Amino acid sequence: MRYYFHLENDESIHIDHLGKDFEYVESAKVHAASVARKLAATDRWQGWSLRVIDARNAEVTNIPIQDTLLHS
């Protein structure tokens, strides 16, 4: 299934129009956590979240960027 990784904050959203295919939803969640950890290493993405949506437009997970440093 294709999953989309949107970056959001209170004022803006960066839509992932391409997405990425994963066989299992857990694989998409692991990928999202990895991306969020990388983004958390810079101040630019603090206050943002990474929202994962599947091909049916259902939310899979929403990861606040700043929280990923606390849980890595």
Reported for 18-22, long-range contacts at CB under 8 A and 24+ positions apart, including other chains, are 19/55
Position 69 scores a pLDDT of 52
Q: Are the CB atoms for 40 and 68 separated by under 8 Å?
A: yes
Position 43 scores a pLDDT of 83
Asked whether the predicted pLDDT for residue 57 surpasses 90, the reply is yes
Position 67 scores a pLDDT of 57
pLDDT digits (tens, 9 = 90+) for 1-46: 999 999 999 999 999 999 999 999 999 999 999 999 999 888 888 8
Which three-class secondary structure state does DSSP give residue 20? strand
Beta partners for residue 51, in sequence order = 6, 62
Position 68 scores a pLDDT of 54
Position 54 scores a pLDDT of 98
